[in-house]
Amino acid sequence: MPHRPLLVAALALLGAPLVFSQSNSTVPSLNVHATTTPPKIDGVLSPGEWDGAAHSDAFHMVEPTEGGTPTERTEFWVTYDADTLYVAIRSHDSAGPAGIRAYSMQRDQDNGSDDLVRIVLDTFHRQSDGYYFALTAAGGKHDGLVQNKEQANDQWDAIWLGKSTIDAGGWTAEFAIPVKSLAFDPANDTWGFNVARAVRRKQEVLRWTGILRNRPTIALPLLGELHGLTGLRQGRGLDFKPYASLTHHSQPEPDEKAWDFKPGFDLIWHVTPSLAATLTVNTDFADAEVDERQVNLGRFSLFFPEKRAFFTQDASLFTFSGINQDPLPFFSRRIGLADDGTKVDVLGGLKVTGRAGPWTVGLLDTQIDAHGGVDSKNLLVGRVTRQVLDESSLGVVFTHGDPRTNGDNTLVGADFNYVNNHLPGKKSLTIRTGVQFTDSDAAGGQGTAATFKVEYPNEPFSSFLWLERASNRYDPALGFVSRTGVGNMHTVNSYNFRSEKSWLHLTQVFLEGDAVTDLGLKLLDHTVWLGTYLENKYGDYLNVWVNDAGETYGTPFEIRPGIVIPVGLHQWNAVQGEIGTTKSRPADVYARWRHGGFLTGHADDYQAGLNYRPNSRLQLGLNGNLRDIRLPEGNFQLRIASAKAVYTFSPDLQVSLLSQYDNFSKSLGVNFRIKWIVQPGNEVFFIVNQGYDTSLDRFRPTQNDTSMKTAWTFRF
């Protein structure tokens, strides 16, 4: 007889009915009632406005004592009407305003510095994907998607209201989240829900449910429940978002004009509350944040995160087999960005995303403009998953099109994700496996990739294992792979010793290993780290580790002009140390030093950073990295530096200045950015990107791009 899980999975793919056990009687729950008088979202608990709302103050401590009694009281209220979910959270504080850390009003700047409250929503109550929203005590708004059950995607932004205020007895946060900003199943009146609070000066984390320090607040399987959410409406389900940008290029490329006016629009139709179709025309990404500068000293490609809003919306539905980076079947930066980072016009696109019962669907079809000798291309991506075995899922992914060449490329993949959050002792286990097949003209034929991932994220022992194999001709033209023709094994194991009363709060011992083999399992590269991490009750930390490493070069590699790493196996040892201070103070610093071997010689690596927050409006940051590399083939130094200043007039108006420099390119890049949220969904951006050539020991202006963009949202 076939093994039962495999049999159930096979029946699921054939469409056989399955029984889903979504409700858990052991989790806390609230019955929520609709209101006829919506509360005013001003961060003040005015008398009577939250009467009749569901209420709870049943919080437990997660840090520093798992399951302990909170030192400060927290309570919250939840109500709703047909259009909006309302949440108020009162964070009492015995120290008054002096005890509250309120350093940042910035959007999506959750750096651990501020007192903060967070709510988590699983609107389909499937423990698969969801949303989170947060407010700092200073009024900074954070939001994001939850994908793969507990992974945060903070690049997503929604339309919602949130305000917070501080008073003599603590601080209050109020949320108003339009249901039009969410996908949900109107036939299901139960949502997954959680509330968490961070008291920074005490390094204290409190939650309503999910009282496990080894799991994040956003872990969907650990949420409580809201019952009674009925009568929610999407209206006509139409969001029309026209936008226009005007850009001036001081030194236009040969195929570029000095002035570039780019109008366009996004049209989002919620076919049902759980299924949305998005049409984009003449897509513009002028408002996307610039990438953090990286310099590649290795043989393989670097990975940069997606920051463009069109692609981050519902990005969680396209994740595959728990792969964060490599070998990724779909990586949205392949659309609209060439390999060298230059922009490629996206003429239009259609995206369909949603859920229906146990099914999840994501479909993306885009048309990009001709560029660099490549014709205008159509690029297609699809992802379908089905829930099985209560917490697990099966799925398929496919892509078609190659933005790099005029040839064809097709990828097909399947994955199975087994999740069990009910092991004895409240332990959890996740096993993910996936296989991908590609047929690529550029690679000269067919290729495969397979992955296997085991996560045991528990206390006091935690373990992670990752296995991967990519054939020589595996070529995901719309995905990302740094290296083919190899197998890879990566493991991380740690054991935590905690002391809840002493000054030293956490001692962690860890062993991490990485091995790369050829397809015949011959070892090519390896790295082993052994170390310890120490953290005191204030959040200051010390991290020390040693490592043994080796890399095999099959061909000579020019790491710098005139400096060539020879063929062969190069092995070395090194020691590293890092020290840092808590972010709950106005200033925090960190410093890291690495000393030891590197390839055929030696290297010292110095890194340091300083962040200063004199008040909730101004933030300053400095970061520097010096790599002093000494090889028999030649010596060189890599210097990277960045400085950032942000002034926030209000949570809706922010000015930032970012400068980045590296001595390899001898270029200084300066990004000046103003973001004004006139009201949620209606935004104005003014952006200046200025380059300077420093090769002659002076600042010579090079490329300047100045852009202004407006985007407005109309909901019907």
Number of helical (H) and strand (E) elements in the chain, helices listed first: 2, 41
- Report yes or no on 634 lying in a domain: no
Please give the residue that has the higher pLDDT: either 145 or 251. Answer: 145
Predicted confidence (pLDDT) at residue 515 exceeds the cutoff of 60: yes
In the predicted model, is pLDDT for residue 23 greater than 70? no
Domain count for the chain, please give it: 1
Determine, yes or no, domain membership for 519: no
Has residue 382 been placed in a domain? no
pTM of the entire predicted model: 0.82
* Rounded Cα distance, 97 and 93, in Å: 8
The reported pLDDT for the residue numbered 254 is 66
DSSP labels for 187-242?
A: T--EEEEEEEEEEGGGTEEEESS---TTS-TT-GGG-EEEE---S---TT-EEEEE
Q: If you search the block for the tokens 């000066």, which residue do you land on?
A: 201
Examine residue 671 and state whether it is found in any structural domain, yes or no.
no
Q: What is the pLDDT of residues 670-687, one digit of tens each?
A: 999 999 999 888 999 999
Give the up-direction half-sphere exposure of residue 193: CA atoms within 13 A in the CB hemisphere.
22
Measured torsion, CA atoms of residues 210, 211, 217, 223, in degrees rounded to the nearest 10: 10
**Would you give the DSSP letter of residue 293?**
P
Is the backbone peptide bond immediately before 460 cis, with ω within 30 degrees of 0? yes
Q: What is the end-to-end Cα distance of the chain in Å, rounded?
A: 55
Q: Cα 483 vs. chain centroid, distance in angstroms? A: 23
Band of the pLDDT at 599, cuts 50, 70, 90? very high
Spatial distance between the Cα atoms of 699 and 659, rounded to a whole number of angstroms: 13
584 inside domain: no
| Contact present, 547 and 574 (Cβ < 8 Å) | yes
Judge if the upstream peptide bond of residue 64 is cis by omega within 30 degrees of 0: yes
CA distances (Å), 616 to each of 27, 196, 291, 339, 612, in order?
37, 22, 25, 39, 11
Higher per-residue pLDDT: 22 or 691: 691
Backbone phi and psi for residue 166, each to the nearest 5 degrees, phi listed first = -110, 140
pLDDT confidence tier of residue 255, bands split at 50, 70 and 90: low
What are the residues facing 699 on neighbouring strands? none
In the numeric block, which tokens belong to residue 13? 């793919």
Report the chain's C-alpha Rg in angstroms. 26
**How large is the average pLDDT for residues 23-44?**
87
Q: How many Cα neighbours within 13 Å face the side chain of 376?
A: 8
Identify the CA nearest to 159 among candidates 130, 181, 131.
181
Residue 318 within a domain = no
Q: How far apart are CA 422 and CA 212, in angstroms?
A: 13
pLDDT 10s digits, 57-102: 999 999 999 999 999 999 999 999 999 999 999 999 999 999 999 9
Neighbours of 454 (CB within 10 A): 16
Percent above pLDDT 90 for the chain: 70
68, 60 Cβ separation under 8 angstroms: yes
Per-residue pLDDT tens for 146-185?
887 888 888 788 899 999 999 999 999 999 999 999 988 8
Residue 105 in any domain: the answer is yes
In a domain, 209, yes or no: yes
CATH number where 101 lies: 2.60.40.1190
- Domain of residue 200: give its range: 4-227
